[in-house]
Every structure is written in structure tokens, then in C-alpha cells.
Amino acid sequence: MSTLRQALLGLALFASLGLLIWGQQQRIKLADTQASASAQLASHWQQEASRATSQAKQRAELLQAERNAQASLRKTQDLLRQSLTEREQRIEVLKREKQVFKDWATQPLPEPVSRLRQRPALTGADAYHQWLSSGNALRPVTDQP
């Protein structure tokens, strides 16, 4: 082979080797960019998972606190019911034992007191406010000031 041909072949080989190296370098850059983007995405999703976990813990604590409050309210309600039952039984015993209490218990409520117990069916705060403002106030038994 001639030296010119060998030189051209060497130059072509050198150029193809340079192109191969340049192509590999571009692939490495692309892989690095993709790896960086993947790392950022993984970091983002880890933060989201951490945030979701902390929210779940907060909600679980809130749920437990509400359950404890409901249990406490149920206990209080049971105690109140028991106390009411005991008082009603005590009143019944007193009614049976003493004629004065028996007579008092059988009397109807006075008219102003019975009016206190009468209320229209109200739906909402506005209706309640309107009912309070309507002038249905209780009047004294006597009309004297």
C-alpha cells in the first residue's frame, strides 16, 4: 500500500475513533442528565411520601383524640342518665311517702311556665333570631309595671 493510502486510512481510523469517543461522550452526558432528573424526581416523591406520612400520623392522632373525647362524653352521658334515673326514683319515692309532694306533683304547670316550654319548630340561626326578636316575650301575670 502506498503511504498516502495508509495515511488516509489512518486519518479515517483516527476520525472514526474520535467520532466514536464523541458519541460515547454525548451518551454519557445524556445518561447523566437523565440520572440527575431521576434523582430530583425521586427526591420530590420522597418528600411527598414523607408529607403524606406526617399528615396520616396527624390525622390518626386527631382521630384518637376524637375517639377519646367521644368515650369521655359517653361516660358523662351515662353518669347523667344514672343521676337522672336516681332523681326520678327519689321523686317517686317522695310522692308515695308524702301527700304534700303527691299533691304538688299532680298540679298542672302555671300558664307562664307552660308558655316557656312552647317553641315553634326552628330551622337555623336566622329563624331562631327572628323568633327571639318577634316580641313573644312573656308578660308578667299582672299588667302593673
pLDDT digits (tens, 9 = 90+) for 19-57: 999 999 999 999 999 999 999 999 999 999 999 999 999
CA distance 39 to 31: 12
Amino acid making up residue 63: L
Q: Is residue 82 part of a domain?
A: yes
Count of domains for the chain:
1
Whether residue 34 lies inside any domain: the answer is yes
Q: What is the pLDDT of residues 63-116, one digit of tens each?
A: 999 999 999 999 999 999 999 999 999 988 887 787 877 777 788 888 877 777
Q: Is residue 142 part of a domain?
A: no
What range does the domain containing 55 cover? 3-106
Q: How many alpha carbons fall within 13 Å on the CB side of residue 57?
A: 6
46, part of any domain? yes
Quickly list DSSP for 31-50: HHHHHHHHHHHHHHHHHHHH
